[in-house]
Structure 1
Amino acid sequence: MTKWLRVCLTAGLFLLYLPSANGQFLKKLGKKAQKAAERTVEQRVDEEASKTTDRALDSILEPGQGGPAESPVPQGGGDDPGAVNDGSAPTTGNGGSSPNAGGAGKASGSKRLEVYSKFDFVPGDETLFYEDFGDDFIGDFPARWNTNGGGEVVTFGDDSGKWLELVSGNRTYYIPDLNDLPEDYTIEFDMEVLGVGRGTSSSATLRVILDDNGGFEKGGNNVVAYIPLVQYTPGGIRVENRINSERTISNTVKLDIRENILNRPHISIAVNGERYRMYVDENKHIDIPRMIGPGAPMTHVKFQLDGVQDGKEKVFISNIKVAKGGEDLRRKLLAEGSISTNAILFDSGSANLQPTSMGVIRQISQVLQQEGGMSLQIVGHTDSDGDADANIDLSQARAESVKKALVDIYGIDAGRLSTLGKGESEPVAENSSPDGKAQNRRVEFIKQ
């Protein structure tokens, strides 16, 4: 607080709260006693005014500094406010997720979908790696990852499934078992933070690294995006790269994503040759056409957490998906008459669309708006988890949800759209792995 503001508050509050009787009393005191009493009152008023005004200024200048208002409350762990479920607290089903989860996200609702109506991120259509930690035990490090530090699979007391808790360290890496990335691909994941607030360091970041080295160090060709966790000031996303061991880009894009960070953000990255784009929730913040060197493709994805306070500030990731492609589905639908995509996601065990699915649905609407005589059949598919008859009903309901979004949000005539649910009857991959299940949970659009 500035000195002049504190002095003004002191004087104002002193005059406001000093009763007239006390004023008369002070007048009767000797000059020395009067000054001593005034100093005492002034000191107390100043202390209280300082505390009150600091809190007021914090609420104005540092919104959200108190931490997420609706963060999931971890279960287990005794009195530790940052403790997570260690397996002793009850969970639902497979770590809190239900059949055909398709990923867990924020509440969907029509209002949320409308916010994403201009979202233009389109995930790849061939899943290379999908991880919701559904096959891992709580408390273990996940089987399909590597690290040179720590970390464990945890769950919260909600329906968000399982998460990997990261350990902070600027030399600690988390590397999924994924090699040889193609030229065009997309990366998506959800992140959860607990304990961040006014005291969180400006150096606290979750780093997403694309690298040509699969080990615990950066190679000669890499791209790093630093997602800020700081709350007392807008952090901005820092991006760096190296091409043949030479840094060509190092910049911080100024923006304010503090509210997003506190509300389980969905991060989306699209790589098309040399071009690199990053989205936080529905907004695209990074779009660099020459981020990746020509002839120097990345081969590995890595995560790194640094700058957080051990035991107080926690970061988790889940629903990590890497997919080949990210092509323009509009051209494919027009050229081939049908497309199949597993990039349309729903809330766990339900037909509620996740907002990040709107990038694909928006492209479908653009085709229908351009081709006024075209009609489409929307076909829903699930994996084999759960009852077969229930999956038929679920896939039908999900197809109906896609139709409703096209009609309600993009104004497509409902008469041009029909729906069909096929459940688990037509798998395109084995249902024995998270990757295969993710491919089987899909939606088809077929020209009629």
Structure 2
Amino acid sequence: MKTSFLGKAVFCLLFAFAYSLNSDAQLLKKLGKKAERAAERTIERRVEKETTKKTDQALDSILEPGSKDKKNPKAPDNTGGQNTPGNTTNGPSDTGSPEAGGPKTIQVYSKFDYVPGDKQLFYDDFGNDFIGDFPSKWNTNAGGELVTLGDSPQKWLELKSGFNIYYIPDVPQLPEEYTIEFDLAAVGVDNQTSSQAKVAITLSNDDKFKPGSNNAYAEIPFCQYAAIGITVQNNINNKREIRSTVKADLRDVALNNPHISIAVNKLRFRLWVNEVKYIDVPRLVAPGAVIHTVKFLANGFKDGKEKVFITNLKVAEGGVDLRRKLISEGKISTNGILFDSGSANIQPQSMGIIRQISQVLMQEKGMKLKIVGHTDADGSDEGNMKLSQDRAEAVKNALVSVYGISSDRLLSEGKGELEPVGDNNTPDGKSQNRRVEFIKQ
């Protein structure tokens, strides 16, 4: 039977339509494969770029630290004074070392268990030294000068970076139990800074420029492209027995003036960075060793670009459990509760002591305490009397608001500058006079 002209036309149209659909589908399929391959190539290029970048950073840290940096040096966000133990020392009024999230509060430090020694052996904020000079109470085998950072008048000592370059404060021979505190600051540190950029704190039986046959030290990292961790090591009779690195991501902390606290109780060595305890080694210090001094060493910082500084060094005998002393003797005095300059704002690092006082009051349900504030002689008599009263009241409020102690168990009193225990003409003496007493009632 013959096919009509109309039927042939319809057939041709249907065939053309089907062919067109199939061609479009093939075209889309080809385009899809091309897009897929293009995406794969893009991903490969990005992975290769990142891999090359990381490889270069690793090689830089080993062979030529910081050599590819093209960024401008960046000063610390807040410099100096944040941990200054005084009622007149200049500095910003932060309530803790600021990090990316802003200033920390005393609530953050509510579980901080560091307790500074109660008998001061050494203190230096460089208050009696001139900018441009090397500090009078320090020694070094290199060089250095005091500087200020940014707009703050706080003085800092730059630690020159180099192998076996030591900075040694005039700390007396150390007892079996003592504490060390200081502030660090860095300028020019960025994501090209070497993984070897560290500040080492060494306890040594050598009082000159050698590590010593008996020593213990910790290294604070400043590297930014990787979390390096804190390394501790010791040598006993010239033989290394311990070397370990504790995982810690201090990259943000290192850029924001970290406050370092160390407690040595005979052989035990503990270290805190701001409110966090990272190191607690029960037998790091050599048994029977006489520790003559504390030494600071900076290493791995690129000359002319990366700088690290130290200030507010405080060494004190003690650091023992204040709770037992308060219960047995009924009275303790401490200059470890720190306040912002000229104010009653408690610095968060002081919460270790206040926490121990709260624990005594929680255990001794019937105990009542009088909190007495003291200042140095800087400023007017009336101003210091008010300041000491405000500071005693601030400690009371912290016990009530942070630890839930009933306010009717606490009294506060200010003595101003009336009862000094040190010489108000020296930084050491002033630091001793700025103190808080807790007296059982």
Q: TM-score range by the shorter chain?
A: 0.7 to 0.9
Structure 1 CA distance for aligned equivalents of residues 434 and 328 of structure 2: 24
Per the alignment, residue 250 of structure 1 pairs with 243
Structure 2: any 5+ residue segments left out of the alignment?
1-33, 58-68, 97-101
Shift in Å, 1:123: 0.4
Count, aligned residues:
381
Q: C-alpha offsets along residues 255-314 of structure 1, whole Å, 9 cap, x if unaligned?
A: 211111111111001000011011111111111111011111311000011100111111
Give, in whole Å, the separation in 2 of the partners of 1:138 and 1:212. 31
Aligned to 1:71: 76
Q: Which residue of 2 aligns with 1:203?
A: 196
Alignment match of 1:364 (pick from 334, 357, 361): 357
Instruction: State which of 306, 313, 316 in structure 1 corresponds to 2:299.
Output: 306
Instruction: Find the residue that maps to 1:285 and give its secondary structure.
Output: strand
CA 1:73 to 1:410, structure 2 compared with 1: closer, same or farther past 3 Å? closer
The structure-2 alpha-carbon separation of the partners of 1:361 and 1:71, relative to structure 1 and needing over 3 Å to count, comes to: same
**Which of 68, 88, 104 lines up with 1:100 in the alignment?**
88
Return the index of the structure with the highest Cα Rg: 2
Q: Within 5 Å, which residues of 2 pair with 1:23-34?
A: none
Question: 1:353-379 CA distances to partner (integer Å, 9 max, x unpaired)?
Answer: 111100000000001111111111111
**TM-aligned CA distance change 1:293 to 1:111, over 3 Å:** closer
Cα RMSD after superposing both structures = 3.1
User: Which 4+ residue blocks in structure 1 deviate beyond 4 angstroms?
Assistant: 65-70, 96-99, 102-106, 108-111
**Which of residues 101, 104, 114 in structure 2 aligns to 1:121?**
114
- In the superposition, the TM-score normalised over structure 1's length comes to 0.79
Per the TM alignment, residue 101 of structure 1 is displaced from its structure 2 partner at its CA by: 3.4
Question: What is the CA-CA distance between 1:348 and the residue it aligns to?
Answer: 1.4
Counterpart Cα distance in 1 of 2:225 and 2:103: 32
Asked if residue 285 in structure 1 is aligned to residue 254 in structure 2, the reply is no
Q: 1:291 to 1:426 in 2, by over 3 A?
A: same
Comparing 100-109 with 434-443, greater Cα deviation is found at: 100-109
1:4 is matched with none
Where 2:351 maps in the other structure, the secondary structure is helix
Match of residue 81 from structure 1: none
How is 1:33-432 mapped onto 2 (pairs within 5 angstroms)? 71-72=76-77, 99-101=87-89, 106-108=94-96, 112-159=105-152, 161-432=154-425
Stretch deviating more after TM superposition (124-133 or 258-267)? 258-267
CA distance, structure 2, for counterparts of residue 410 and residue 73 of structure 1: 29
Q: Is the 8 A contact 2:162 2:298 kept in 1?
A: yes
Q: Give the AA of the match of 1:310.
A: D
Residue pair 1:341, 1:443 contacting (<8 A) in 2 also: yes
Q: Distance in 2 between matches of 1:234 and 1:105?
A: 30
2:258 maps to a residue whose letter is P
Cα distance, 1:67–1:240 mapped onto 2, change above 3 Å = farther
% identical equivalent positions: 56
Give the distance between the partners of 1:433 and 1:442, measured in 2 at CA.
16
Residue pair 2:75, 2:188 contacting (<8 A) in 1 also: no
**Structure 1, gaps ≥5 residues long:** 1-37, 75-90
